[in-house]
Structure 1
Amino acid sequence: MMVQIGLIALLVVAYIIVSRILKSSVNLLGQKKFANEVRITYVSKMLNLGFTAIFVLLICLVLGIGYGQLAIFFSSVFAVVGVALFAQWSILSNITASLIIFFGFPYRVGDWVKVVDKDDEILGQVLEISTFHVIIHRLSGDIVTYPNSLILQKAVIRFESREAAQAMSQFTASSTSTNKVEDQSASS
């Protein structure tokens, strides 16, 4: 019994330490990537939720709850969650893609990008990377909300500047006149 109490105390201390390290690491990475504060908080909470589930599993094992009982419990929970989310698979895939984009997406807010899509030109500046969408302000003046799960499936070209993006745009003439009007109104 004393061994179990000691192991639980050790697990609690390890949980607190690793949780703080995880949160500070995500905050540091988010600041390095110029991510929105809300996005950093969201990613921290999602990772903390997963880490907490692992912690609870370890506590159950230390308390002597058998693998069979844990397997039945977790398979029941996953079955209920799976059925509940089956109809919402696109939401789940966008949330998962959101985490992948946070850690591995080579583009940041403010970058000029072109999503290679045969149906439409999606070329512009990344305004925000949210939980479900990447929001792009196109050269034509429109704002596009592109789903996270789709942007991971498409090729994305990053441009060094607005001028380089304009050179690749089919809206060059109209966007140049629009930009002159915007520049004139901004200087007035």
Structure 2
Amino acid sequence: MLVQIGLITLLVVAYIIVSRILKSSVTLLGQKKYANEVRITYVSKMLNLGFTAIFVLLVCIVLGIGYGQLAIFFSSVFAVVGVALFAQWSILSNITASLIIFFGFPYRVGDWVKVVDKDDEILGQILEISTFHVIIQRLSNDVVTYPNSLILQKAVVRFESREVAQAMSQFKESGDSENKEEHKNTTP
């Protein structure tokens, strides 16, 4: 019994230390990537939730709860959660994509990008990367919300500036096309 209390105390201390390290690491990474504070908090909470589940599993093992009993409990929980989320699979995939984008997306807020999509040109500046979507302001000042799960599946081109992005656009702004037509008519 004393050994179990000692191991649980050790697990609690390790949990507190690792959760603080995890939170500070995510905060530093978020600040390095210029992520929104709300987004940093969200990612920290999601990772802390997973870490807490691992902690509870370890405490159950230390207390001597059998693997069979744990397997039945967790399979029941996962079955209920799976059925609940099956109808909302796109929400779950966007949340997962949000975590992947936070850690691995090579673009930041303020970057000029083009999402290569055959149906529509999505070219503009990233205004925000949120839990469910990336918000892009087009050259025409329209705002597009693009789902996180889709942006991971498409090719994304990054441009150095607005001018370079504008030059690569298949749709020219009306002012630019009038200036080019005027320039064409005046040149010999």
Fold-level similarity (TM above 0.5)? yes
User: What's the CA shift string for 1:104-141, capped at 9, x where partnerless?
Assistant: 00000000000000000000000000000000000122
CA distance in 2 between partners of 1:150 and 1:165 (Å): 21
- Bigger radius of gyration among the two: 2
Q: Who is 1:19 aligned against?
A: 19
Displacement of 1:65 in angstroms is 0.1
Counterpart AA for 1:117: D
Counterpart AA for 2:145: T
The 5 A counterparts of 1:93-104 are 93-104=93-104
Q: What root-mean-square deviation, in Å, do the aligned CA atoms of Structure 1 and Structure 2 show?
A: 1.0
Q: Who is 2:132 aligned against?
A: 132
How many residues are paired up? 177
Q: Who is 1:79 aligned against?
A: 79
CA distance in 2 between partners of 1:56 and 1:37 (Å): 28
8 Å contact from structure 2 (residues 112, 123) kept in 1: yes
CA distance in 2 between partners of 1:171 and 1:93 (Å): 32
The 5 A counterparts of 1:44-83 are 44-83=44-83
Please state if 1:116 is matched with 2:122. no
User: What's the CA shift string for 1:132-170, capped at 9, x where partnerless?
Assistant: 000000012210000000000000000011111000112
Counterpart AA for 2:115: V
Q: Who is 1:181 aligned against?
A: none
CA distance in 1 between partners of 2:151 and 2:52 (Å): 30
Q: Which runs of 4+ in 1 moved over 4 A?
A: none
CA distance in 1 between partners of 2:103 and 2:96 (Å): 11
CA distance in 2 between partners of 1:14 and 1:175 (Å): 62
CA distance in 1 between partners of 2:104 and 2:176 (Å): 33
Displacement of 1:176 in angstroms is 4.8
Question: Aligned residues: percent identity?
Answer: 91
- Aligned partner of residue 172 in structure 1, secondary structure: coil
8 Å contact from structure 1 (residues 113, 124) kept in 2: yes
8 Å contact from structure 2 (residues 116, 157) kept in 1: yes
Gaps (5+ residues) in structure 2? 178-188
Counterpart AA for 1:11: L
Gaps (5+ residues) in structure 1? 178-188
CA distance in 1 between partners of 2:115 and 2:137 (Å): 12
Q: Who is 1:186 aligned against?
A: none
CA distance in 2 between partners of 1:175 and 1:11 (Å): 65
TM-score in terms of structure 1 length: 0.92
8 Å contact from structure 1 (residues 97, 149) kept in 2: yes
TM-score in terms of structure 2 length: 0.92
